[in-house]
Amino acid sequence: MRVIINCAMSADGKIALPSRVQIKISNEDDMKRVHLLRNECDAVLVGINTILSDNPKLTVKEKYVKNPKNPLRVVVDSKCRTPGNANVLDRSAETLVVVAEGFSKQMGDAEVVECGKGRIDLKKLLKILEKKGVKKLLVEGGSTVIWSFLNEKLADELMVFVGPAVIGGKGSLTLAGGEGAKCFEEIIPLKLIDVKRIGDGVLLHYRVVK
């Protein structure tokens, strides 16, 4: 399975306001790129904190793509905290809520699957998704989930849109949070594939070196 991480960050590497409230970093041309990318992926994955703070729909907007094909929406949510009225639980696309062992509960029309003890076992999750026919997975954040995918060497590509703004704030989330590397050997090496100007921002495209 090909796993692509996509994220938008400010010039100082932040992905949200210090309050963790979402902020628009992408411009319209980049939004179009993201929706085209979603359209060609079989599944799109986010962490529960992104659901709680941004309430994204994770569908492909017709405004950007004609005859959109919505990917499976996947939420990594150990304790099954996805609110019943979350946009990912609407009926516009299929949704898989991935919870830790013992945390299953009814989630409207969404499928709920247990995968891992205490925390989601992402390697195992990729196998489950593969069995569902997912060949291309888009990871859209947030910071903790992105670190996990990179740290566990599960991501193949990283696409970062750098918007023309500085958010600042010592505690503001950056592209990759989690535990972070404890020594040089644990940093995640990347190979730059492409750099492209998109209007007032820049798209950096990396291959993750494994």
Ligand X SMILES: NC(=O)c1ccc[n+]([C@@H]2O[C@H](COP(=O)([O-])OP(=O)(O)OC[C@H]3O[C@@H](n4cnc5c(N)ncnc54)[C@H](OP(=O)(O)O)[C@@H]3O)[C@@H](O)[C@H]2O)c1
Residue numbers 106-125 binding ligand X by CB under 6 A: 119-120, 122
- How far apart (Å, rounded) are the C-alpha atoms in residues 96 and 129? 10
Residue numbers 116-175 binding ligand X by CB under 6 A: 119-120, 122, 140-145, 148, 173
Closest residue by Cα to residue 13 from 161, 140, 158: 161
Contact between 137 and 3 under an 8 Å Cβ cutoff? The reply is: yes
Distances (CA, A) of 161 to 9, 72, 120: 6, 23, 27
Q: How many residues bind ligand X (CB under 6 A)?
A: 31
Note whether 22 binds ligand X by CB under 6 A: yes
- How far apart (Å, rounded) are the C-alpha atoms in residues 202 and 195? 7
Query: Alpha-carbon dihedral of residues 111, 75, 60, 148, nearest 10 degrees?
Result: -140
The minimum distance between CB 67 and ligand X, in angstroms, equals 25
Rule CB under 6 A: choose which of 29, 32, 35, 53 binds ligand X: 53
Rule CB under 6 A: choose which of 48, 96, 107, 159 binds ligand X: 48
Note whether 89 binds ligand X by CB under 6 A: no
Residues that bind ligand X (CB under 6 A): 7-8, 15-16, 20, 22, 25, 46-50, 53-54, 76-79, 81, 119-120, 122, 140-145, 148, 173, 177
